[in-house]
Structure 1
Amino acid sequence: MKLKLSKTTVEALAPEPDKQIIVWDSDIVGFGVRVSPGGSRTFFYQGRLHGKAKKVTIGKLGKVTAETARKDAKRIASMLELGQDPSPPKHATAATAPTLGDLMAAYVELLESQGKVSARNVKNQIARDIKSAHPRLWAKPAAEIDLHDCMVIVGALVDAKKPRQADKIRSYIRTAYSEAINAHGDANMPASMRRLKITFNPARDMRKVKGSSKAKDRALSLAEFRAYWRRVQALPEPHRSLAMLHVLTGGQRQQQLARVTLADIDRDAPSMRILDYKGRRTEPRIHIIPLLPEALDAIDRITGGGEYVFSCDGGRTPIHNAFLNDIAKRICAEMKDADELENGPFTAGSIRATCETRLIAKPYRVSSDVLAHLLSHGMGTVQRKHYQHHEFFDEKLEALEMLHRMVKGQPEPGAQVVELRTRA
């Protein structure tokens, strides 16, 4: 019996009360499903390896979908054609086979070997959301992890209303398996990754989590931005100077600010160097931010005997990633109580969005190229990577001067306000 094995057709198959039945797929030769008398439906693939019959169980309907089973069948067929055994090595037992934990640890080691500053944060997230939350799966052989197991890990975070974190963990698992597969032909990979011998990525068909990349930051209105600035001025030190610096440098990313040291401050051509590791780059992009006199004054107020600029203890340790968010959250609550909030709550990320949104509009009209260099985004185009080498230092300085006048409520030089006459 042959038919197209889809979710509908497989679920419609009626079991025989006294025997197992097999139904073959009409499109993929060797792909079939077994229907037991009890009603369970198990997908499998049957082919030949080195001239001998080889049957590989794919999984039961429910743990795998018909669509996933079809993709697995094609993968198994390709491996058999290449003379590769799709079954796990016989010598690998549950006690000796590399586990999911070994895979994720190797992935973190790979990030560290690439110089990724995010490696430590990724390691902590993996330990919390996989190792501690799912110890049974953490100890399960990596080659035996299936799509259902991946969904258990990611689904728990979705159920906890953490879509962004859920999608991060989905991405970490998917990338870890992908890198382990690539390690077969890459001697530059860490030994911990090469020895895993992973041939299949169970997370490849996991869909992006809805709501994970939904824009959560909004742009403040001019009135809100100026109210925020006034309240920043009233904060105690070092919170006042740190929040001022965040605004006066254009709302730079918090993680990058936390890495700035005194060695990154150039007082001769007042500027601050930021190492931008964002994205897949292994070498940071040097990002130079001009410093206004008010920004230098703020740096002098908060630095001491330590090396870090953005610090609460004189530079001995950098601020936490949530530090500026906590300040924004507190000011947001104060503005709400004072009826100064026009469009709902905001975060520290909203300050970054506000800087760009307000500077590109009238009367400032800062170009998108200047804003891209000021905020270090959209720099990966061919034109910018290979042909455009202008650093826009003076233009960035002018934009920051506009930003300072903006929050203080000062008019732009040369800007005119035309009063419209009302009809008689």
Structure 2
Amino acid sequence: MARVRLTTTLVDELQPPEKGQSFVWDSEVAGFAVRATASGAKAWVVQMRVRGGKERRMVIGFCHKLPLDKARQEARKVIAAADLGRDPAQERREAREVKPDTNPTLTEFAERWMEEVAGRRNRAGTIKNRRLLLKNHILPHLGEKRLGEIGRRDIEDMHHRVSQKYPVAANRAVSLCSALFATAERWGLLTENPAAKVERNTEEGRERYLTPEEIARLRTALDQSPAQDSADVVRLLLLTGARVGEVLAMRWDQTDLAAGVWSKPAATTKQNKTHRVPLSPAVVEVLAKRQQAAKTSPWVFPGREGPAHHMTTVRTFWAAVCKRAGIQAVRIHDLRHTFASLLVSSGESLPVVGALLGHTQAKTTSRYAHLLDDPLRRAAERVAAITSGGKL
């Protein structure tokens, strides 16, 4: 068949046949052509030979929607795929006929992912946060789309919209999308992760430590509080550096007051590993008083619903006690940072601090590295005093 180099002008001036269809084949890309029908429709087509010797012809797109250069580029891709043994025409037909269970909506897949993946790996608090991200930020924008329809631009648009009010939540939403799509890719439902390289908003790390004066005021406010159960929770947070969920879920059978040890079970720790924590005499004193007053509950901090439940929050108490102590802009999680900062500033090494906090990676503890400057400077000054004959 005769070939000519297709141009936009040639295609625009191409007259439709009286009946049926006609083709003008491109001399630049063998197998690429423009097809005109008697109705006046013009479309880009590609013809190829697939594995087994069969000839396939497929439409790439309509001429009034797809520019010539893009169509020619797509034709090269299709022909290359056929040369590698694939059948692009058959793949397109199968994609159009795909059933919902092999190409579910994001809403459908997210629910399955939450049950089969997150439900097995994540703690209750993490699952709750992820469901909120899905409900409030991800599914309103992408929930009705099928997995195969979602591209990187869709994720970026969602991130941009959420970022207008909640820039940090927007980053978390992208991370959750990436986790979802990574599973879909692993299960063979996607060929790539559209959220993998989406740019996030810049986040500034928050580091707030209580000063010695603030700690003194906090202790006074705790002693004066009528809610001593909640006050004891805060005391243990400050004295152990534990996470609030770990303290609230503490059981008597996890503690050995004689040996001064608390064994946090994997189910309550962020790392999903058992964490054995040595307890200071001050912590043992708090626990011993509570043990004497304990009745039948297995929990160190039983809830109001009965012996089967433990306390679940001290958020309201924390806000009240901070107001009473005159302390501002401090989250309850900052007690953990305060515990770590006191250790580092007193000269303890980062590995020791990481072990007490239950960190599994050194980089997590490295945020406190700058606090080592003061004890190191004091040590250097002592050497200077000795080498200079006692004069600095």
TM-score scaled by structure 1?
0.58
1:88-237 matches, cutoff 5 A: 89-92=95-98, 97-112=103-118, 114-118=120-124, 120-130=127-137, 134=140, 137-160=142-165, 162-184=166-188, 197-211=189-203, 214-235=204-225, 236-237=227-228
1:153-203 CA distance string (max 9 Å, x none)? 43343222x33322222111111111221124xxxxxxxxxxxx2223221
Distance 2:193 2:285 in 1: 52
Distance 2:245 2:49 in 1: 52
1:376 and 2:354 matched: no
Contact 1:275 1:286 in 2 (8 A): yes
Unaligned runs of 5+ in 1: 1-14, 21-28, 30-43, 58-69, 185-196, 383-424
Relative to structure 1, is the Cα distance of residues 269 and 99 closer, same or farther in structure 2, using a 3 angstrom cutoff? same
**Residue 137 of structure 1: CA displacement?**
3.0
How many percent identity over aligned positions?
15
Contact 2:107 2:144 in 1 (8 A): yes
Q: Tell me the secondary structure at the aligned position of residue 228 of structure 2.
A: coil
1:24-67 CA distance string (max 9 Å, x none)? xxxxx9xxxxxxxxxxxxxx9x997837566778xxxxxxxxxx
**Residue 252 of structure 1: CA displacement?**
0.9
Relative to structure 1, is the Cα distance of residues 252 and 380 closer, same or farther in structure 2, using a 3 angstrom cutoff? same
**Residue 349 of structure 1: CA displacement?**
1.8
1:292-311 matches, cutoff 5 A: 292=281, 293-297=284-288, 299-300=290-291, 304-311=295-302
RMSD across aligned C-alpha pairs, in angstroms? 4.3
**Residue 108 of structure 1: CA displacement?**
1.4
**Residue 92 of structure 1: CA displacement?**
2.0
Q: Tell me the secondary structure at the aligned position of residue 208 of structure 1.
A: coil
After alignment, is 98-107 or 78-87 more displaced? Answer: 78-87
- The one-letter code sitting in structure 1 at the alignment partner of 2:106 is L
Greater radius of gyration (CA): 2
**Residue 219 of structure 1: CA displacement?**
1.1
**Residue 98 of structure 1: CA displacement?**
1.0
Distance 1:291 1:256 in 2: 17
1:3-402 matches, cutoff 5 A: 50=50, 52=56, 81=84, 83=86, 87=92, 89-92=95-98, 97-112=103-118, 114-118=120-124, 120-130=127-137, 134=140, 137-160=142-165, 162-184=166-188, 197-211=189-203, 214-235=204-225, 236-249=227-240, 251-276=241-266, 283-290=272-279, 292=281, 293-297=284-288, 299-300=290-291, 304-313=295-304, 316-320=308-312, 323-336=313-326, 341=327, 345-361=329-345, 364-377=346-359, 379-380=360-361
Q: Tell me the secondary structure at the aligned position of residue 187 of structure 2.
A: helix
Distance 1:381 1:255 in 2: 23
- The one-letter code sitting in structure 2 at the alignment partner of 1:221 is T
- The one-letter code sitting in structure 1 at the alignment partner of 2:263 is R
Distance 1:376 1:142 in 2: 38
Q: Tell me the secondary structure at the aligned position of residue 273 of structure 1.
A: strand
Relative to structure 1, is the Cα distance of residues 375 and 247 closer, same or farther in structure 2, using a 3 angstrom cutoff? same
Contact 1:104 1:173 in 2 (8 A): no
Distance 1:218 1:310 in 2: 27
Distance 2:336 2:288 in 1: 21
Contact 1:143 1:200 in 2 (8 A): no
Distance 1:244 1:272 in 2: 15
**Residue 374 of structure 1: CA displacement?**
0.9
**Residue 113 of structure 1: CA displacement?**
5.9
Distance 1:95 1:113 in 2: 20
After alignment, is 214-223 or 253-262 more displaced? Answer: 253-262
**Relative contact order, higher structure (CA 8 A, sep 6+):** 1
